[in-house]
Amino acid sequence: MYFSTSVITTALLGLASAQNVHVVSVSSTTDKTLLAFTPNNIKAAAGDMIQFQFLNGNHSVVQSNFDNPCTPIQALVKNATGMFSGYMDVAASEATGMIPTYTMEVANDKPLWLYCSQGKHCQSGMVMVVNENTAANASRSLDAFKALAAKATANLDPSKITPASGGDSTDGTTGGTTSSIPTASASAIAQGLGSAVSVSAWTGLLSIAAALAML
Ligand SMILES: [Cu+2]
């Protein structure tokens, strides 16, 4: 069996790009009162991973839609399984030297509107967007979403809502997984700013390399 170098290179690049991990800091290691996701406006391709690293406080990440900033999407769209990280109490795991994380895979390139369902954090601007698309609709910007959130009458907990009986099922929804990582490595990854290739991607590359060596 024979593979040209270009075919192999393309395969390796494809694998690496499919495993891009975007790191988002939730609150801050230095300012525990910070109610923000950083960065709060990211571009991610379908198949990319987003890892939320909970650095302080007790926050969550919940999927809404643009028009209803502080409301879980499952309260808006029938059969939606919108993402919800659960509440991540950083103080509870601090003594172990670990911080909680929540990692999700991006399903498509549509805008994904997210908020924190703790207290009035959503109204305070603890919101973000993945794949903002102001080219398609100039009014659907992160700034406009924040302004809508500030006026929301309630900040809804996904575990305490009534599932929707109607709505637009074209809204993309997704799930994720929770884990924890050493506090030290969290800041190291966060300083990488943006994307990094995950361990599993490299494991994949190594197994492909091993397979090729046996041809
Ligand atoms: Cu919060």
- Per-residue model confidence as pLDDT tens digits over 54-106: 999 999 999 999 999 999 998 888 888 889 999 999 998 888 889 999 999 99
What per-residue confidence (pLDDT) applies to 162?
A: 81
The letter for the amino acid at 66 is: F
Which tokens belong to 190? 């966060």
- CA 144, distance to chain mean position in Å, is 20
**What is the number of other CB atoms lying within 10 angstroms of the CB of residue 59?**
25
Residue 49 CA to residue 105 CA, distance in Å, equals 4
Tell me, in angstroms, the distance from the centre of ligand 1 to residue 26's CA.
8
Residue 120: φ, ψ to 5°: -110, 30
Q: Which of 118, 37, 104 has its CA nearest to residue 70?
A: 118
Q: Which residues crowd ion ligand 1, with CB under 5 Å? A: 59, 116, 118, 121, 126
Alpha-carbon distance of 60 to 21, in angstroms, equals 19
Residue with tokens 């907990």: 157
Tell me what percent of the residues of the chain surpass a pLDDT of 90: 56
Q: How far is the CA of 126 from the centre of ligand 1 (A)?
A: 6
Residue 76: strand, helix, or coil? coil
Question: Do 98 and 182 touch, CB atoms closer than 8 A?
Answer: yes
191/176 Cα distance (integer angstroms): 23
Mind listing the pLDDT tens digit for each residue in 99-129? 999 999 999 999 999 999 999 999 999 999 9
pLDDT tens for each residue of 145-186: 999 999 999 999 988 888 877 665 544 445 677 777 777 666
DSSP 3-state of 25: strand
Residue 43 sits at φ, ψ, to 5 deg, of: -105, 130
Domains of the chain: 19-213 (2.60.40.420)
Distance (Å) from CA 136 to ligand 1 centroid: 29
Q: How far apart are CA 11 and CA 179, in angstroms?
A: 29
